[in-house]
Chain A
Amino acid sequence: MRARGLRKSYGDFEAVAGIDLDVRKGEAFGFLGPNGAGKSSTMRMIGAVSPISGGVLRILGMDPATDGPVIRARLGVCPQDDTLDTELSVHENLTVYGRYFGLSRAECRERADELLTFVALTEKAKEKVDELSGGMKRRLTIARSLVSKPDLLLLDEPTTGLDPQARHLLWDKLFRLKQSGVTLIITTHYMDEAEQLCDRLVVMDGGRIAAEGSPAELIRDYSTREVTELRFGPDVMSADHDALAGKVEDLAQRIEVLPDRLLLYTDDGERAVAAVHERGLEPAAVLVRRSTLEDVFLRLTGRTLVD
């Protein structure tokens, strides 16, 4: 997949404001960003169901404007909403969907059986979709996106709203798919999901790409190796935090003042802690941790709520 200067606008609103992307075959590629960053709009364009407003987009080497049906025949799409047919059984949701791709009835049945095993829903095959839990519906939607044996799988927030067990099960399935050579494009606002699944990712904000790279590269480029969190207890007001920050700001490459704690971005967290103590400061609690994608994300997209 390749995009150059890709844009999408709805009336005056520019949802995607010119992005360049390359996703290679067999790669797991992630879109990270707050709500309204343009992730879903981009996904819909890649899914060949939303015409581009500007720039160039090639999917599997083809132009979605002219080869939409041919492209879609080779895509698997797991949308943000499950869009399952609640009138039909679990098994029927898969067989009927396979028919849209022109598979024979026998192929559809065989694929449905395989996929239900794959997502651990075989026992629910005859049940109606309404009777499934949220996690089961999500797994069924993913199974449905695989009916046509796609070369490229698009997953729009695949684990939003799931409990930790269901999320880990899904990650496991997606990892196995990736190993079997399927290219994955994933949007998420879960950092751990992006770290788990993606070889490479972009952080989107306001319709633009704010950063691009592997999870490790992004942490290296936009954060420090470690983060020292200092809490001074409930008696210390935010105003005092600013004063305290002034006393330690030279100990870190970057410092962030939050209502309840100070974050010191540094390559050596323990040394920063020692230095804080040497200056006679007595934080109530100290935590030294590795930087995560979440630090990168918050740095790039800010802490303010977007909607």
Chain B
Amino acid sequence: MSVTAIENGRRQFDYWATVYKRTWKGSLVSSFLLPLLYLAAMGIGLGSFVDENGTGALGGVSYLQYIAPGLLAATALQIAVGESTYPVMGGIKWQKFYFSMIATPLRPADVMYGQLAFIAFRVFTTCAVFTAVIAAFGGLASPLGLLGLPVALLVGMAASAPVCAVATRLDNDSGFAMIYRFGVVPAFLFSGAFFPVSQLPNWIEWLAYLSPLWHAVELSRDLSLNTVELLPALGNLAYLAAWFAVGTWFAVRGLTRRLIS
């Protein structure tokens, strides 16, 4: 990023800070409540049942400790996608505030970077609180599990950037339902957050490997359970970074085309 891009990012700070001040209370409930419910139902409810029958297949840790890192990553993904759909389309189509932004020295790329930075902030703060809740429930198998937080941020952005890219290319919001139905929900259920993907039929297992969420779940679980190996971990990181980088490129291009015509 050039010096101009950084300066233009700084110029948007007050805007996003003001937006956050006005919306954080509402987003608090929706973004913390759902994962908390999952944590209680799956980790503690289902977990006590699983734990009674022995967790050798899970590597000997409690079910709560097994799913907590994955649940954090999955939460990051959900928040990121939510922040990359309607808000982005609103900037283009409904409130059109992106158009007012590019009537200033800001360029479409600056606007996209600003939007992504705000999404990163939302993902990070939500996940930070969620991590604290997990720790309080005893869901972190080791202190290294705290590194699940940066991993959550990374998977959030790996999902956010491509979804922003799609949002800049859609004419109406009906496409978002498809993203949830065929992207977010299957990823949430089948990316290894709740059970090892090796349990799945072979072809679904391979689909799971394509999902950025699987890589984040693997990495943050390995960190938490202290079973991390360098090469696979670097592979996971590189895969997530690639989704973010390619997604960002398409998002900037999509927004530029939409705003500059």
Q: Give A contacts to B, CB under 8 Å.
A: 10, 47, 49-51, 68-70, 72-73, 75, 77, 79, 81, 83-88, 92, 95-97, 99-102, 105, 144, 148
Contact of A68 among B12, B23, B99, B107 (CB under 8 A): B107
A75 touches B261 (CB 8 A): no
The complex places the Cα of A102 from the Cα of B6 at a distance, in Å, of 12
**B15 → chain A closest CB, angstroms:** 4
The complex places the Cα of A87 from the Cα of B259 at a distance, in Å, of 21
Residues of A within 8 A of B103 (CB): 47, 49, 72, 75, 77, 79
**B97 → chain A closest CB, angstroms:** 5
Residues of A within 8 A of B97 (CB): 83-85
The complex places the Cα of A81 from the Cα of B106 at a distance, in Å, of 19
8 interchain residue pairs of minimum CB distance:
A100-B104, A83-B100, A77-B103, A69-B105, A83-B96, A96-B15, A73-B105, A99-B14
The complex places the Cα of A92 from the Cα of B259 at a distance, in Å, of 23
Residues of A within 8 A of B102 (CB): 49, 72
Chain B contact residues: helix, strand, loop or mixed: helix
B22 touches A99 (CB 8 A): no
B259 touches A49 (CB 8 A): yes
Q: Give B contacts to A, CB under 8 Å.
A: 4, 7, 11-15, 18-19, 22-23, 95-97, 99-107, 259-261
Residues of A within 8 A of B15 (CB): 85, 96, 99-100
Contact of A70 among B96, B105, B259, B261 (CB under 8 A): B105
Residues of B within 8 A of A69 (CB): 4, 105-107
The complex places the Cα of A100 from the Cα of B103 at a distance, in Å, of 10
The complex places the Cα of A86 from the Cα of B90 at a distance, in Å, of 11
B105 touches A50 (CB 8 A): no
**A46 → chain B closest CB, angstroms:** 11
Residues of A within 8 A of B7 (CB): 102
Known: A68-B107, A100-B105, A148-B104. 11 other contacts (CB 8 A): A10-B261, A49-B260, A50-B260, A69-B107, A85-B15, A85-B19, A85-B100, A86-B95, A95-B14, A102-B7, A144-B100
Residues of A within 8 A of B261 (CB): 10, 50
The complex places the Cα of A70 from the Cα of B107 at a distance, in Å, of 11
Contact of A99 among B4, B12, B100 (CB under 8 A): B12
B11 touches A85 (CB 8 A): no
The complex places the Cα of A148 from the Cα of B103 at a distance, in Å, of 12
**B11 → chain A closest CB, angstroms:** 5
**A107 → chain B closest CB, angstroms:** 12
The complex places the Cα of A203 from the Cα of B129 at a distance, in Å, of 61
The complex places the Cα of A70 from the Cα of B105 at a distance, in Å, of 7
Residues of B within 8 A of A84 (CB): 95, 97, 100
**B172 → chain A closest CB, angstroms:** 18
With A87-B19, A88-B18 as known contacts, state yes or no: A97 contacts B100, CB within 8 Å: yes
The complex places the Cα of A99 from the Cα of B15 at a distance, in Å, of 8
Q: Considering only CB atoms, which chain B residue lies closest to A101 in the complex?
A: B104
Residues of A within 8 A of B11 (CB): 99-102
B260 touches A88 (CB 8 A): no
The complex places the Cα of A106 from the Cα of B18 at a distance, in Å, of 16
A72 touches B100 (CB 8 A): no
The complex places the Cα of A92 from the Cα of B22 at a distance, in Å, of 11
Residues of A within 8 A of B107 (CB): 68-69
The complex places the Cα of A110 from the Cα of B260 at a distance, in Å, of 32
With A83-B97, A88-B22 as known contacts, state yes or no: A105 contacts B104, CB within 8 Å: no
Q: Considering only CB atoms, which chain A residue lies closest to B23 in the complex?
A: A87
The complex places the Cα of A79 from the Cα of B98 at a distance, in Å, of 12
**A277 → chain B closest CB, angstroms:** 58
**B233 → chain A closest CB, angstroms:** 40
A83 touches B95 (CB 8 A): yes
The complex places the Cα of A81 from the Cα of B4 at a distance, in Å, of 28
Residues of B within 8 A of A49 (CB): 99, 102-103, 259-260
Which of B100, B101, B102, B259 has most chain A Cβ within 10 Å?
A: B100
With A49-B260, A83-B96 as known contacts, state yes or no: A100 contacts B19, CB within 8 Å: no
The complex places the Cα of A72 from the Cα of B104 at a distance, in Å, of 5
**B102 → chain A closest CB, angstroms:** 6
